[in-house]
Amino acid sequence: MKKNLYSLVLSENVVAAVDRMAYAMHTNRSNLINQILADYVAYETPEKRMQRIFDSMESLMAGGAFQMLQPSASVFQLRSPLAYKYNPTVRYSVEIYREGGPAFGELRVGLRTQNHMLGLYLMQFFKLWSKIEQHYNPDARSGTEEGRFIKKLVLRGEIPGAEALAEAIAAYLRTFDAAMQAFFYQIDRPAAAAAEAERIYRDYYEHASCLL
């Protein structure tokens, strides 16, 4: 959404109160005034939409294996312990773009480790998952980059409301994590591990109401 510079005449006391509130909310004066005016005229800003998506995701993901991390204005972060030896932690970051388009956001999945074998297994799963995903859904846009799995979040057809979008993202995250856990659980049986990961994705593909 394009922003322009406007000149307003405001009371010093009002500006001081706005600045105090902006500081408490970890934002700046312009963003806060923009949000206040948008709320007053019942207009949903991109920031407000992001917040609604993230709030819904937090409710949907609570109580499971995922641990929510402090989100920023445009990025929702969470992590999940991986069932492999010392239980390393996989980190998920979901970014929602401010501007609309075919791709409305991006998912990044990674794990910091000095364990060379774990790193190889993780990349093996990332590449397997991309291959499975693109087999069933040729429009899927995912791959690996600098040791991470990266996926453009693209929905078929019109993008739904914030709550439905949050449900679609949450469903994909749960599917991805379940497949990764199953893959590592059978890491000594590569064929079985790959088959189980594909079964989990196929079930998601056949039943997902909104396919990413």
Per-residue pLDDT of 59-114, as tens digits, reads 888 877 899 887 677 799 999 999 888 889 999 999 988 776 678 899 999 998 88
For residue 95, list its beta bridge partners.
75, 106
For residue 105, list its beta bridge partners.
96, 153
Biggest CA pair distance of the chain: 70
Q: Please, which pLDDT band fits residue 44 given cuts at 50, 70 and 90? A: low
Q: Which residues, other chains included, contact 204 with Cβ-Cβ below 8 Å and sequence gap of 6+?
A: 171, 172, 175
Helix (H) or strand (E) holding 81: strand 75-81
Cβ-count burial 8-20 (b if 16+ within 10 Å, e if not): eeeeeeeeeebee
Q: Is the pLDDT of residue 181 over 60?
A: yes
Query: Averaged over 10-15, what is the pLDDT?
Result: 83
Which of residues 65 and 151 earns the better pLDDT score?
Answer: 151
Q: Is the pLDDT of residue 1 over 60?
A: no
Cβ-count burial 84-117 (b if 16+ within 10 Å, e if not): beeebebebbbbbeeeeeeebbbbbbbbebeeee
Collapsed DSSP state (helix, strand, coil) of residue 107? strand
- The pLDDT of residue 84: 85
Which of residues 3 and 126 earns the better pLDDT score?
Answer: 126
Query: Averaged over 43-68, what is the pLDDT?
Result: 82
Query: Averaged over 178-193, what is the pLDDT?
Result: 95
Q: Please, which pLDDT band fits residue 40 given cuts at 50, 70 and 90? A: low
Radius of gyration of the chain (CA): 20
Give which of 78, 42, 87 is closest to 166, Cα–Cα. Answer: 78
Q: Please, which pLDDT band fits residue 2 given cuts at 50, 70 and 90? A: low
Predicted TM-score (pTM) of the model is 0.80
